[in-house]
Amino acid sequence: MTLKQLEKGIFVDDATKLNFDSIIFDCDGVLIDVTKSYDQAIAKTTAYILKEFAKIQNSIPITKAIIEGFKDTGGFNDEVDLTYVAVLSIVAAKKLDTDEGKFIDKVIKNADETGITSVEKFLDKTVDISDIKKKLAYPGKRVDNPLHSIFDQLFYGPKLYKKLFKKESKFTEQGFIENDVTIITKKLVETLKKRFDNKIAIVTGRGIESIRYSLKEILDGLNLKNCVFLEDESREIAKPNPEPLLRAIRGLGSKNCLYVGDSMEDLIMAKKATDRGFNTTFCGIYGTSRDPLQKIKFFEQNKVPIIIESILHLPKILNLV
């Protein structure tokens, strides 16, 4: 594979054919910059759970570097899963009386696309953390599980949380979802429609109400019937399981799909879809990363054929401008 920089922010493999008949997007980090929303919700929830459930007052903050470290393993598309393993890792480090940051790095190195299963397996061999696991009883039933419930309350805020879950929030501050920064625009959707017509969809870990709240009427410009919102689905088909992507591809009647994402689980999912006989080319977004240059390198190492800073570069790649 030979990547060439076509212009600032755009890298494309010479051998990649750009004759796509559909385009499917991930959401977080692609359509929406979640640096100040989901990332902060992970950090705040972790600190709250450690204080209230593990009686740990002082611990290292969950930084974007830690979040990306877990996500780069391919097993943490779900931010609450990531919050859970962050809590477990810090509790384990405290029990071992070891440096929390270095220990989390070790946990990440032993994690893989099986997500919380791989982390629990590693930690269970290292130290007894059965007490915090019992208290959290994760994943359990979303509306009743303490970790999931606290995360949702902090992310959605009291008004939206009550609307979605018919329950009162114990927190009064506005939800971190208010910090979502929408990248996709109506103009971009209309431009893409010139090429793909109604074959534009989303396959994301979010629920539809969460996305509608942030994207508003932009969402209606996509093929909603063939979008997949994994927060509203069974955990069994969570990324990197290719079934959600295959469902969208089949629904769109696509023969040559471009899937745009920003993470390892997105890349794995696209590769698995291709392995199932549904040609899917992955396009990696690096502009919302903590370290854009490192993200480019990560994509290059994993032989990603199209790497762009932002979805706003798509019209240029697809010869629509």
Task: Find the CATH number of the domain harbouring 214.
Answer: 3.40.50.1000
Indicate if 290 and 189 belong to the same structural domain: yes
Q: Tens digit of pLDDT per residue, the chain (321 long)?
A: 788 888 899 999 988 999 999 999 999 999 999 999 999 999 999 999 999 999 999 999 999 999 999 999 999 989 999 999 999 999 999 999 999 999 999 999 999 999 999 999 999 999 999 999 999 999 988 888 999 999 999 999 999 999 999 999 999 999 999 999 999 999 999 999 999 999 999 999 999 999 999 999 999 999 999 999 999 999 899 999 999 999 999 999 999 999 999 999 999 999 999 999 999 999 999 999 988 999 999 999 999 999 999 999 999 999 997
Indicate if 146 and 192 belong to the same structural domain: no
The b/e string for 230-257 (b: 16+ C-beta within 10 A; e otherwise) is: bbeeeeeebbbbbbbbbbbbebbebeeb
Phi, psi for 282 (deg, rounded to 5): -95, 135
Tokens representing 154 are: 């902090």
Last residue of a domain, one of 151, 178, 205: 178
Indicate if 304 and 193 belong to the same structural domain: yes
Indicate if 132 and 209 belong to the same structural domain: no
pTM exceeds cut of 0.95: no
Indicate if 29 and 84 belong to the same structural domain: no
Assess whether the previous peptide bond of 139 is cis (omega < 30° from 0): yes
Indicate if 280 and 153 belong to the same structural domain: no
Indicate if 108 and 146 belong to the same structural domain: yes
Indicate if 239 and 287 belong to the same structural domain: yes
The whole domain housing 303 covers 3-33+181-317
Indicate if 187 and 265 belong to the same structural domain: yes
How many domains does one find in the chain? 2
Q: In sequence order, what are the residues at sequence separation of 6 or more whose Cβ sits closer than 8 angstroms to the Cβ of residue 302?
A: 264, 267
Rounded CA-CA distance 321/314 in Å is: 10
Indicate if 122 and 213 belong to the same structural domain: no
Rounded CA-CA distance 271/320 in Å is: 26
Q: In sequence order, what are the residues at sequence separation of 6 or more whose Cβ sits closer than 8 angstroms to the Cβ of residue 186?
A: 217, 218, 221
Last residue of a domain, one of 178, 193, 219: 178
Indicate if 48 and 171 belong to the same structural domain: yes
Using DSSP, state whether 33 is helix, strand or coil: strand
Q: Given CA atoms 234, 236, 238, 244 in this order, what sign does their dihedral have?
A: negative
Cα 255 from chain centre: 25
Token pair 């390892």 in the structure block, residue = 264
Last residue of a domain, one of 115, 149, 178: 178
Indicate if 57 and 162 belong to the same structural domain: yes
Rounded CA-CA distance 176/228 in Å is: 23
Residue 89 corresponds to which amino acid?
S
pLDDT at 169: 96
Q: Tell me which DSSP letter residue 275 carries.
A: H
pLDDT at 39: 94
Q: In sequence order, what are the residues at sequence separation of 6 or more whose Cβ sits closer than 8 angstroms to the Cβ of residue 267?
A: 74, 261, 282, 284, 299, 302, 304
